[in-house]
Structures are given as structure tokens and as C-alpha cells.
Homo-oligomer: A and B are copies of this chain.
Amino acid sequence: MPQDQLVGAPTRRERVRAATVEEIKRTALTLMREQATADVRFADIARAMGLTAPALYRYFADRDELLTAMIVDAFDDLAAALREGAAAVEPDDLWQRLMAIAQTYRRWAGRDPAQFALIFGMPVPGFAASKEGPTADAAKSAMAHLEVVVLAAIDRGLAGPMLLGEVDAGLAVELEHDHGNSGKLIPPAAHQAMLLSWASLHGFVCLEAYGQFSWLSEGSRDALFTSHVRTAAAALGVPGPV
């Protein structure tokens, strides 16, 4: 026996298999980046790995399964990026926190439009993947950081017009029923503010990622984005930059 195995620990075969799975996903993502499309051919992935196409079917039942796995990974990656981005700034400065989250979201989308489209775009051929799959849950998970900022703003007694506005009664019920992802109780107004801020941020990022702002220089887009986040911050009641 080459190595003692702890009970429940992955055996050697499982480990190399998992490594291959990872390599397949990584290779597919690289190809997506290069070709700027989510339409990746199995044969290309295999060739890039020194394999033939049918070999990949040992690891993924079909294209859909590979795409689904990549979507899950993309969410994890986005969540990780947001975590790092939020951790890199002064925790007490809400404006900086908000800006860091927004910039991370934006940069992540810009660095990997293919991965971004994988998550938020209409899936490539037939969209079996987005049917109440892992995306809905993961999206909420990736938004936990926005939630933190909004809750912190409330804790400090800050409240912009977005937090002061009425919340529709029926909506409030459904928002409360959704326990968020941290288990904390979130006031409906805060929850609503979070969703709307997210939508606002997301819209800018989408338009930019898909080239609708390509008539502006990068510097101008940066400035525009800053204004956008500032507007959102004002609506939340978070004071702007010094």
C-alpha cells in the first residue's frame, strides 16, 4: 500500500480525477477568454489538453454539465473576488467599502466577459442550466457583501431616500420570508435597497461589458462609473468621498 489513507479521505484515483476535472474547466475557460465566446468545442478543449474529444465524456456527461459546473465556479470566483476586494479597504469607511465592492464587481466582469456572460447572460444554446439551478442561490451569496454595507449604514443611522421609501406590503412579506444568506434578519427596506443597488450596479457593468459604452474612453468610463456609484451611495445615505 503506497500510502495510508484516512477514512473518508479521497483516494489517489479520486484526486487525479478531480485534478483532471479542474484542468478541463480551466482549459475551457481559457479558450472562452481567447475566443471571446462561451461557445467552446469539446474537441478544442481536448486538443489543448493533449486528449481526444470523447475522453471528456468520462468527466462530464455532456456540454451542459460542463457549462453548469463552470457557472458554479464562476459564482465562487466572483464571490471570492468580492470577499478579497471588500477585505482590502478600511472596514469603517462605508463609501470605500461600497466603492471597493462595486469596482470589484465591475473589474471582474470586465476581466472575464465570457465568465460574466456565463452567469448573467442568456445561456448559450438551450438554457437548461439556469432553471432554478445553483445560480439563484449563488447570486444571493455573492451579494452578501452589499448586504453588509447596507446593514452597516442602517446601524449607523444613515438613511438615504432609498432606505426611507415605503416598501410595498406584499413585497415586504416575501423579502422577510427570504432569510438572506447570513441568517440575520434584514429589514425589508434594507433588503429592497440592497436589491436596487445591485440592479443599478449590475446595469452599468452589463452595458460596459457588452460594449455599449465603447464610444467612451476608458478614463471616461471610469469617471462615469464613479458617478454611478456615488449616486447609489447617495440614495443609500452613505456619505460620498472626502
Q: Which residues of A contact B (CB under 8 A)?
A: 35-39, 113-114, 117, 120-122, 124-127, 130, 132, 135-136, 139, 161-162, 165, 167-168, 170-171, 174-175, 178, 192, 195-196, 198-207, 210-217, 219-220, 223-224, 226-228, 230-231, 234-235
The residue among A35, A136, A212 with the most chain B CB atoms within 10 A of its own CB is: A212
Residues of chain B with a CB closer than 8 A to A207's CB: 120, 198-199, 202
Residues of chain B with a CB closer than 8 A to A195's CB: 213, 224
A214 touches B168 (CB 8 A): no
User: In the complex, A199 Cα to B228 Cα: how many Å?
Assistant: 9
A223 touches B124 (CB 8 A): no
A38 touches B122 (CB 8 A): yes
Q: List 24 A-B contacts (CB under 8 A).
A: A35-B126, A37-B126, A39-B124, A114-B122, A120-B212, A121-B121, A121-B122, A124-B124, A130-B210, A135-B212, A136-B212, A136-B215, A167-B223, A167-B227, A168-B227, A170-B220, A170-B223, A178-B215, A195-B224, A196-B228, A200-B204, A201-B203, A202-B203, A203-B204
B39 touches A223 (CB 8 A): no
Residue of B nearest to A191 (CB): B224
A199 touches B196 (CB 8 A): no
Residues of chain B with a CB closer than 8 A to A211's CB: 130, 135-136
